[in-house]
Structure 1
Amino acid sequence: MSAELTEYAGYDHPLSALIAIAEWGEQPAVKALMEEHKTFEFRKINLPIRVFLSHFLSFSADRLEHPEFFCWPGIWKTSGGSKPDRTAVWLRHLSLFADRGDKPGVYPRRWPGRDDRAVKDTFDSFYGSMALYDLTRQWILEEGAFVRDYKWLFENYSQDRADAWAEDTFQQVYGISLSDFRILPAV
C-alpha cells in the first residue's frame, strides 16, 4: 500500500532511504564503527559524532528489519505475538544517557550486553566533549570571561569541581589553560 501511495504522490518509497543506509554497512570504516557501537568502546576522536552516527545506523537497520514496530511501538510491545525480540529492539533505542526525576544531573544508562565501565567511559568522554565544544564556541564567538555553568550535568554540583573539569578538558585538547587567557581592554 505504501508503495502505491508514494508512487502516486511522486515520493520515494519509505524504505528506500533505509536500504541506502544499510548499504553503507559494507564499508570497512562503518563496520569498524559498528563494532565500537556494539561494545560501547568508542575511539576518542570525534566521539560525539561516532556515538550519534553509530546509533543512527543501528536505528535505521532496526527500522528496516522491523518497520511495523516503529509504526506503533506501544502496540507491538504490549500485544504479545510471535516476535520475542521486541523488548530488545525497544531497549536498543532508548536515550543514550538519562536524567532522573528525583535529582538533578545526567547519568549513564545501563545497556544490556555492554560493560558498565565502557558505558561510563563513553559517558565521561561524551560530556567532556560537550564542555569542550561549549568552551571553544565561547573562545571564538563570545567576549569576556569563560562561563562554566554545568549545573545541568552534575548531581552534586560544585562550581570548583566544574571549573576543574572544564579546565582539564580544555587543556588536554588545546594545551593551554583557561586561566592563561587574559581579557584585553577595549580600544
Structure 2
Amino acid sequence: MALLTAAAILTGCGDRAKESSGGKNASDAPTSSLMNKKSIKDFDVQPLNLADVKPCKLLTTEQARTLGLYSDKSKMMGIPMQQTAANCYWTDSGGTVDVQIHEDTDGPETVAWLSLRQGGKPETIKGYPASALKISNTSCNVQVGVSDTYYLYLQVQSHKFPGGACALGRSTAEKILTNETSG
C-alpha cells in the first residue's frame, strides 16, 4: 500500500511540473523575447512591494462600478469583502473578481518569470509580465508579476463583460496597476 501511495504521489508531481510549464519539457522552452525575460528588472516597470497593501484598497469603488463589479445592491451585501488577509472579493451583475496578493520566495525562478508561464499566451499588462488562462467561456485566471517575489492573481467569472472573463480580469488588473504605480 505504501509503495502504491508513493508511486501515485511521484506520478502526480511529474504531471504537475509538466502542467505548470504549459505541458512542455524544459527543452521545449519558448524563444520569444518576452519569454526570455527572467526578472522584473527585464521589464520597463517599477517593482511593486505589496507586503503591506490591503487587497480591498487595490481597486476603488468607482473603478469597480465601471467594471460592473459594484453597485448599491452589492454594497448592501457587504461587497467588497476581504475573506483573508491576502484577498478581496468584488461581485455584481457584471461579474465576480477575487483579487489575491501572493508572495513567493521559494523557487529558483522569479515570480516575474513564472507569471508568463501560468497559462494562456504570455503577455504584459501595463508593462508587467502576465498571463491569462481561460478556464471556460465565463471563467478566467489572470496572473500578473509585480516584482520578483509578489504577484496578483485574479479569479474571474463573467458572462456579460465585453470580451469575456479574461478581458474583465485584464481590465481589473490594469486599474489596480494604475493605482499602485501612480501613488
**TM-score, length of structure 2 as denominator length:** 0.23
**TM-score, length of structure 1 as denominator length:** 0.22
Compare relative contact order (CA 8 Å, sep 6+) and give the higher one, 1 or 2.
2
